[in-house]
């Protein structure tokens, strides 16, 4: 069983502040690292899928980095807005199965943006 | 765009009853999977399918059956419901041609309570 750890478990941030949180995963047999955003009463939606060590991806005010050698990824949110409030999930896949035979998910970071 | 459609959204069962959670996608995705979400835990893979006629077990398959007779449909069957199967269930599919690193597309979830 793979362990994907996310920290912190929850986070309160003032509107306008920037924030980041961490996903750690096994560094052996790495294939891909996914980030999903999950709003209350909705289904998770993909933010990023990263495969290469050193990858950096950006979507608007949200960006992510990947270090496969040490087994961690950071998600950054710049200038937090109330609509950023959500649970952010990371998920790891190993080997050639990739996402097809399932991802191992962390428990998520629950982000609350306070006006 | 329908995407991934799950039914029912809510269901209450008595212990020992059987039922089927339906999942359909209209994106021509070869890969489909079922996850369950429990409090304090990450999404856990129940079963997955890499194409019509092919299914395999995930991390927590006991008590569940699946079949994949068409590309579009991937129903999840609970043979004899138990209180431990009280959970929120998500169906997800993966983009064709990006099976190894493609993002998951989730349905809206089905909340099941077993009394």
Q: What is the pLDDT of residues B88-112, one digit of tens each?
A: 999 999 875 555 567 889 999 999 9
B34 — pLDDT class (breaks 50, 70, 90)? very high
Query: Does residue B27 register a pLDDT over 60?
Result: yes
CB contact (8 A) between residue B42 and residue A36: no
Residue-wise pLDDT for B57-86, tens only, equals 999 999 999 999 999 999 999 999 999 999
A102 touches chain B (CB under 8 A): yes
- Interatomic CA distance for residues B83 and B105, integer angstroms: 28
- Interatomic CA distance for residues B109 and A84, integer angstroms: 21
What mean pLDDT comes out for the span B33-38?
A: 95
Residue-wise pLDDT for A79-110, tens only, equals 999 999 999 999 988 755 555 567 889 999 99
Q: Which of B102, B103, B109 shows the shortest C-beta gap to A43?
A: B109
**pLDDT at site A95:** 56
Structure tokens that stand for A55 in this block = 């990858």
A41 — pLDDT class (breaks 50, 70, 90)? confident
CB contact (8 A) between residue A100 and residue B107: no
Structure tokens that stand for B90 in this block = 């998500």
Structure tokens that stand for A41 in this block = 């009463």
Q: Which residues in chain B are contacts of A100 at CB distance < 8 A?
A: 31, 48, 50, 94, 99-100
What mean pLDDT comes out for the span A42-62?
A: 93
- Interatomic CA distance for residues B12 and A16, integer angstroms: 42
Please enumerate in sequence order all residues whose Cβ is within 8 A of that of B97, keeping only pairs 6 or more positions apart, or say none.
none
B43 touches chain A (CB under 8 A): yes
What mean pLDDT comes out for the span B22-40?
A: 93
Query: Does residue B2 register a pLDDT over 90?
Result: no
- Interatomic CA distance for residues A91 and A71, integer angstroms: 12
Residue in A48, A46, A6 with CA at minimum distance from that of residue A24: A6
- Sign, CA dihedral B44-B13-B109-A84, equals negative
Please state, as a whole number, how many other Cβ atoms lie within 10 Å of the Cβ of residue A46: 18
Cβ burial of B52 (10 Å; 0-12, 13-18, 19+) is middle
Structure tokens that stand for B15 in this block = 């212990």
A51 — pLDDT class (breaks 50, 70, 90)? confident
Give B49's strand partners: B32
Q: Which of A31, A44, A91 shows the shortest C-beta gap to B100?
A: A31
Distance from CA of B105 to the nearest CA of A (A): 7
CB contact (8 A) between residue B103 and residue A42: no
Distance from CA of B82 to the nearest CA of A (A): 24
Cα end-to-end distance, chain B, whole Å: 35
Q: Which of B43, B101, B103 shows the shortest C-beta gap to A51?
A: B101
Specify the DSSP class assigned to residue A82.
G
Distance from CA of A18 to the nearest CA of B (A): 25
> Of the ranges A60-64, B18-22, B58-62, which one carries the lowest mean pLDDT score?
B58-62
């Amino acid at each position: 069983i793979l362990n994907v750890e996310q920290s912190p478990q929850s986070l309160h941030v003032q509107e306008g502040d920037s924030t980041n949180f961490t996903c750690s995963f096994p560094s052996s047999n790495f294939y891909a690292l996914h980030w999903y955003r999950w709003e209350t009463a909705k289904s998770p939606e993909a933010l990023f899928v990263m495969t290469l060590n050193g990858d950096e991806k950006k979507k608007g005010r949200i960006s992510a980095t990947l270090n496969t050698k040490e087994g961690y990824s950071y998600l950054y949110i710049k200038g937090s807005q109330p609509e950023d409030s959500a649970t952010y999930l990371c998920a790891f896949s190993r080997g050639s199965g990739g996402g097809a035979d399932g991802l191992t998910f962390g428990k998520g970071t629950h982000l609350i943006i306070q006006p | 765009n329908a995407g991934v459609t799950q039914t029912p959204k809510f269901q209450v069962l008595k212990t020992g009853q059987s039922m089927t959670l339906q999942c359909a996608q209209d994106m021509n995705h070869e890969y489909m999977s079922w996850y369950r979400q429990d409090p304090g835990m990450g999404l856990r893979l129940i079963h997955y399918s890499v194409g019509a006629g092919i299914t395999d077990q995930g991390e927590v398959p006991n008590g569940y059956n699946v079949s994949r007779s068409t590309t579009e449909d991937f129903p999840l069957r609970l043979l004899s419901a138990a209180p431990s199967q009280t959970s929120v269930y998500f169906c997800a599919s993966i983009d064709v041609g990006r099976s190894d690193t493609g993002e998951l597309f989730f349905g809206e979830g089905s909340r099941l309570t077993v009394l």
